[in-house]
Amino acid sequence: MLDIAFIRNNAAAVAAAARAKGMNVDLDQILALDVALRCDKTRLETLRAERNRIVAEFLTAAAPLRTAGAERSRAIASELSALQGRVTETEQALRELLLTVPNLPWQGAPIGPDEKSNQVVRVVGDRPDFGFTPLDHVAIADKHGWIDTPRIAKVAGARSYVLKGRLALLEQALLFDTSRRLAQEGFQPISVPALVRGDGFVNTGHFPFAREDTFELPRDGAYLAGTAEIALTGLHGGEIIEERDLPLLYAGFSPCFRREAGSGGRDVRGLLRVHQFYKVEQYVICRDDAEESAYWHARLLANAENILQDLGLPYRVVECSTGDMGPGKVRMNDIETWVPSLACYRETHSCSSLHEWQARRANIRWRDRRGRVHFCHTLNNTAIATPRVLVPLIENHQTLQGQVRVPAFLQNYLGWEELL
């Protein structure tokens, strides 16, 4: 959410940001409500001042003036009651509209409607030259009995999966090692619930924009989150954090759920696009300083890249366009990992800076050493997400015999060199 004063003074820039992100925002209505609200609040202050003056003069006033003062006080009370009700309604209407206003993208963001406008920043690692026709991850996993899609589909429907045997252990090793290495980088490992109330989704900006992609539990007034970011933001909602305690660095683990409502039947085979998955999310709350945010953005991205490099996976980093980055992002970089069976790079990680956009919605603030209070900045990044990352891992490390080589750092957990 943007500050209404900022919108008031930078309406053209906000309108340009909305156009760049392909969003329809009723700025005229927002500004009209802002004017009406400020006028009504000014009138409230005037009436309260008049009421206080009448009360102060009442004891020393002559009888006729007391009578007139009492009548005027009653009239003021009636007007105040009606005016306060109108102010409350206007504030609510204005907030609902402010929740639809996007953040302004940074100047380096490519202008474009979707991911086709993203720009490649760097390519890391060589694509494998197998010397044989490689199998896709489903064929390899089926061969070894690591997955059982037909049976679980009877239980859970489409886009469901089970991992068995060594592949299940590999997934758990990946998740654990990611949390371990982030802890060494100063991030606090934290396990958070996937079941979150609706206001948590509003505070992060997932609502109203991504409601159709979210599983709802209407009887409980709750939803299943697609990222630990939602619960982590809520942890500090309404708080004022002392400067000495910043930054807050979390490595949030959680089960995640997405309806994939807009997937249009894509990736129905295998593990790329499923309803339930697991993720370790890097999450930062820091001071509202653009340079500090940029530093943490680079750190988060580097952490994710280091994991992929240790996994021996070829990948590329892209600068996401204004139309692809989402409403709340100032900047977003995706990491796309090479998937041999598809002969293309597919997104496995996403790194986002939101400045104070989320913190204003969730009312997360920090107090500096002079006692002044400011809104915080927030950032988030995928450290690892399974089972999606298993797709390039299995396919890039397959052998002619249909085995899969285990990256060296995971062998300590698994105790074998190859998944047989």
Question: Do 318 and 334 contact (CB within 8 A), yes or no?
Answer: yes
Q: CA 332, 333, 337, 343 torsion: positive or negative? A: positive
Question: Do 34 and 26 contact (CB within 8 A), yes or no?
Answer: no
Pairing between strand 215-217 and 222-224? antiparallel
- What's at 132, amino acid-wise? F
Question: Do 161 and 149 contact (CB within 8 A), yes or no?
Answer: yes
Question: Do 127 and 328 contact (CB within 8 A), yes or no?
Answer: no
Q: What angle do CA 107, 112, 115 make, to 5 degrees?
A: 110
Distance CA 270, CA 135 (A): 13
Distance CA 324, CA 227 (A): 18
Nearest partner of 193 among 257, 238, 240, judged by Cα = 257
- Read out DSSP for 233-285? HHHTTT-EEEGGGPPEEEEEEEEEE---TTSTTTT-SSSSS-SEEEEEEEEEE
Instruction: Say which DSSP state 24 is in.
Output: -
**Residue holding tokens 């998740």?**
175
Backbone φ/ψ region at 371: left (φ over 0), alpha (ψ -120 to 50), beta: left
Catalytic residue positions?
A: 258, 273, 347, 350, 388
Q: Please tell me the total number of residues recorded for the chain in this structure.
A: 420
What burial letters (b/e) apply to 368-388, b meaning 16+ CB within 10 Å? Answer: eeeeeebbbbbbbbbbbbbbb
Distance CA 382, CA 150 (A): 29
Instruction: Say which DSSP state 60 is in.
Output: T
Cβ neighbours of residue 191 under 8 Å, at least 6 residues apart? 252, 253, 254
